[in-house]
Amino acid sequence: MTTPTRRTPGAPGYLHGYAPAVRRSHGRRTVANSASYLLPRLDPGQSLLDVGCGVGTLTADLAAHLAPGRVVGVDTSADVLAAAREAADARGVAVELAVADACALPFADGEFDVVHAHQVLQHLPDPVAALREMRRVCRPGGTVAVRDADYATVHWHPASPALDAWLAGYRAAARIAGGDPDAGARLSSWARAAGFTDVVPSASVWSFATEQERDWWGGTWAERTEGSGLTQRLRGAGLTDGDVAAAAGAWRQWAADPDGWTAMVHGELLCRA
């Protein structure tokens, strides 16, 4: 690896980009696999704001749980919101969509019963400011719910030096972009700094080991590593072209290995506004 080229924290641009492999990966997200911790706080008829909704499959699933409640999804990318519109229409649910910044939400104080963000805070230069803003637009007594990965916990079998180098490069790239790849472990401290006093922390795990799961998870990461917006970020973090190619190949090798297994821990918080 070469010496990383530093970027200004908070410089624009989503770390992963929106390449087809990224959209396919994010399009697998549902309440069951990405927001089950929130289910005890959800009731039909509630209003919900989904911050950083991306391709919108999780947003649409939340809308199905809350119907006939109002559900709004916001993201910084108008292009990805078009995919979110398709996801909502395919599910036959009503979802409002708008371009917005997590740190400057265009909504009134206390406008929503639930404010939710999945895999968002890890990409923000000021996650505490975003949590304060999420708290502002949540009604008193309502719920602010956040879930983020902790990349320090990623583990796989069999061992792979090329994937070890990839993970180190990914975590460096995330920090150069102004985010925190280990956000899942930081959520409680960020929530306290944002003024929350009633916080329920938890954790859950994504694990991929079946042939179908490995093919999907390893395949999307191989594509994202060598053919998406992430590729240049990895190079900026010090990975050479050879490192990138080796990492993509290692993901494919892992996916093809019947002994392949990987897991990632996620931190979760339910905060009372």
Mean pLDDT of the chain: 92
What pTM value is reported for the model?
0.91
The pLDDT score that the predictor gives to residue 251 is 97
Mean pLDDT to the nearest integer, 175-204: 97
Q: Which of 27-36, 55-64, 153-162 has the lowest mean pLDDT?
A: 27-36
Q: In Å, how far are 76, 129, 215, 258 from 26, measured between CA atoms? A: 16, 25, 15, 24
**Strands annotated E in the chain:** 48-51, 71-75, 96-99, 112-118, 138-149, 155-157, 199-208, 261-272
pLDDT > 70 fraction of the chain, expressed in percent and rounded: 93
At 212 the three-state DSSP class reads helix
pLDDT > 90 fraction of the chain, expressed in percent and rounded: 86
The pLDDT score that the predictor gives to residue 18 is 72
Residue 223 above 80 pLDDT? yes
Mean pLDDT to the nearest integer, 57-81: 96
Q: What's the pLDDT band for 14 if we cut at 50, 70, 90?
A: confident
The pLDDT score that the predictor gives to residue 19 is 67
> For 15-28, what is each residue's pLDDT tens digit?
777 767 677 767 68
The pLDDT score that the predictor gives to residue 162 is 96
The pLDDT score that the predictor gives to residue 1 is 35
Query: Do 9 and 71 touch, CB atoms closer than 8 A?
Result: no
Query: Do 115 and 137 touch, CB atoms closer than 8 A?
Result: yes
The pLDDT score that the predictor gives to residue 8 is 32
Distance CA 129, CA 75 (A): 16
